[in-house]
Structure 1
Amino acid sequence: MPSDTKARIQAVARELFVEQGVQNTSLRQISERLGITKPALYYHFASRDDLVRSIVQPMVEDIERFVGDRGPGDPRALLDDYFELIWRHRDVLVMMIRELSTMSYLDLGTRMFDWRRQLIAMLLGPELTQEQHIRATVALGGMSDCAVEYAHLPLEVVKPTAVEAAAVVLGV
């Protein structure tokens, strides 16, 4: 479990990264907003890359656990749970979309496509037509887009519509 200072650094960094992008945020800006010295920040994080990785890693672990521990089941329940998962990490998704270079951390581009393939197989099975695969890509991508585009709205406003739309696209 991260120390209070470490968690505060991550929270402020996440906020600045979402506001102005990873590349446009300096460790100086983070330390100034926190009211700590840069050496104090370096005590917890060796570099900005180290800090970004620490912010992205919990999302990676949660998604890997989700696709690794879950088997095929009720598609609507899977869509519902998946939406809640991406909603919890919507700030990281916003960071990644705002600045695509963030996806290079932890090799996220490749991993995200692998996760999507695993989710599609859980939703619709391993043997898919091209049409089913395209529909599943639209459904899952659309849910991710909703978590980013409507991040400012309450979960209970966004989730029902996003999950229902994904279910309709998938025909489940």
Structure 2
Amino acid sequence: MASRRPAGTKERIQAAALELFAEQGVQRTSLQQIADRLGLTKPAIYYHFASREDLVRSLVQPMIDAAEALLAAQEAAPGRDPRALLEAYVDMSMEHRAVTRLVVSDPATLGYLDLAARVVEWRRRVIALLVGADADLAAQVRAVVAIGGLADCTVMFPDVADADLKVAAVDAALATLHG
């Protein structure tokens, strides 16, 4: 995985915050620590973010927007292709892999932007797309396992190349759905 260097100060703050949040947790990371890591002053952080919570929101909101856009597009599409849906879901998850890892490693992050409820609702929508709203319990359970497994793969295999992980995860999810 190639990482790109953040261009502006705001992006550098977000990148440093994400690293520190992952290392120490959101609640144990101060804005001063983020400023120190970057060689900035704390007022420079406040220039871009009103609070630590505002900074966390700025990290999480792009993932929320991407998930909502993905689901809206899939729900509006005329045909349902489970492989295409799962691949798009994995792509979105991979794009926001660092934030997903943060949320999993620091569950307090789920409180921001009511993320826990959003994730549950996203999964319900994906399950309906995969097996239909009126599917029997067995089909719904397979869909839950498939979607949960996809999400877990983005966290459990941080050193695996996205393309390799995508193929293995989608194949496993499809096998679970049709099992």
Name the CA distance, whole Å, in 2 between partners of 1:25 and 1:135.
38
Name the CA distance, whole Å, in 1 between partners of 2:7 and 2:29.
22
Corresponding residue for residue 3 of structure 2: none
Name the CA distance, whole Å, in 2 between partners of 1:152 and 1:12.
20
- Shift of the alpha carbon at 1:10? 0.5
Identical aligned pairs, as a percentage? 49
Name the CA distance, whole Å, in 2 between partners of 1:131 and 1:166.
15
Using CA pairs under 8 Å that are at least 6 residues apart, name the structure with larger relative contact order, 1 or 2: 1
Corresponding residue for residue 162 of structure 1: 169
Q: How does 1:1-172 map to 2 (within 5 A)?
A: 4-71=8-75, 72-171=79-178
Structure 1 unaligned spans of 5+: none
Letter in 1 for 2:87: D
Letter in 2 for 1:127: D
Structure 2 unaligned spans of 5+: 1-5
Contact 2:149/2:173, CA 8 A, preserved across alignment: yes
Query: Post-superposition, which runs of at least 4 consecutive aligned residues in structure 1 deviate over 4 A?
Result: none
Name the CA distance, whole Å, in 2 between partners of 1:168 and 1:144.
16
Name the CA distance, whole Å, in 2 between partners of 1:108 and 1:4.
27
Letter in 1 for 2:134: E
Name the CA distance, whole Å, in 2 between partners of 1:51 and 1:42.
10
Name the CA distance, whole Å, in 2 between partners of 1:147 and 1:3.
25
Letter in 2 for 1:15: E
| Larger mean Cα displacement after TM superposition, 36-45 or 71-80 | 71-80
Alignment TM-score, normalising by the size of structure 2 = 0.91
Cα RMSD, aligned residues only: 1.5
- Shift of the alpha carbon at 1:80? 0.9
Could you report, residue by residue, the CA deviation over 1:45-83 in whole angstroms, capped at 9, with x for unpaired residues? Answer: 111000000000000000011111223511011111111
Name the CA distance, whole Å, in 2 between partners of 1:19 and 1:98.
9
Could you report, residue by residue, the CA deviation over 1:101-123 in whole angstroms, capped at 9, with x for unpaired residues? Answer: 10010001111111111111111
